[in-house]
């Protein structure tokens, strides 16, 4: 059995396979990558995480960190967090998982809904240099007109998924 990877027990690998969209072989490769990224440490600092090549230009990198970081005190990303993050963005992840992740990214105040302030933050993160404040308000109004089906001034996860299901860009992933 010269092929065994000693960082995990068979049971741990089984559990990772069950909880992610990765194969055993991919999990081992990702662990090796994680060890390389951390220099052998047990976690990535927030600064190291947001500067990963896959995130460096992502306008939501801080939100992504906050969503997947389970160590609120130290703000570090351990291997489990790293695997959850990569699994959620994996091509093998279901549309439901991707929709849930996108919803969490846009829910800046973490109240379980996407409100006007959340949309304002999304727009400021993505197109703030291209729109003036009045235009941002027009975009927010249009979004709520289209997406807020029950008119309660907040977008629920169900409403969010419905709009994503009509988006060819999202359904192609």
Residue 127 belongs to domain with CATH number:
1.10.238.10
Domain end, chosen from 88, 120, 146, is at: 88
Q: What is the DSSP letter of 73?
A: T
Co-location of 16 and 83 in the same domain: yes
What is the mean pLDDT for each group of 10 consecutive residues in the chain (173 residues)? Answer: 70 96 97 95 96 96 97 97 97 93 97 97 88 92 95 96 81 51
Number of domains in the chain: 2
Co-location of 103 and 84 in the same domain: no
Co-location of 60 and 110 in the same domain: no
Alpha-carbon distances, residue 38 vs 5, 93, 119, 129, 164 (angstroms)? 19, 25, 34, 35, 35
pTM attached to this predicted model = 0.88
pLDDT of residue 4: 56
pLDDT of residue 3: 54
Domain span at residue 102 reads: 95-171
Domain end, chosen from 56, 88, 120, is at: 88
């Amino acid at each position: 059995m010269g092929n065994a990877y000693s960082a995990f027990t068979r049971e741990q690998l089984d559990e990772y396979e069950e909880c992610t969209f990765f194969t055993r072989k991919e999990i081992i490769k990702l662990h090796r990558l994680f060890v390389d990224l951390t220099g052998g440490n047990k976690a990535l600092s927030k600064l190291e995480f947001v500067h990963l090549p896959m995130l460096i230009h992502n306008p939501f990198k801080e939100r992504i960190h906050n969503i997947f970081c389970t160590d609120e005190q130290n703000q570090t990303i351990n291997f489990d967090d790293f695997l959850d993050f990569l699994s959620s963005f994996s091509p093998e992840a279901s549309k439901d998982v991707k929709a849930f992740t996108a919803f969490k990214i846009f829910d800046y105040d973490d109240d379980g809904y996407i409100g006007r302030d959340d949309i304002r933050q999304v727009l400021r993160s993505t197109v703030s240099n291209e729109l003036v404040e009045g235009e941002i308000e027009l975009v927010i109004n249009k979004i709520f007109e289209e997406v807020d089906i029950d008119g309660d001034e907040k977008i629920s996860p169900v409403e969010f998924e419905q709009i994503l299901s009509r988006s060819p860009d999202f359904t192609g992933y």
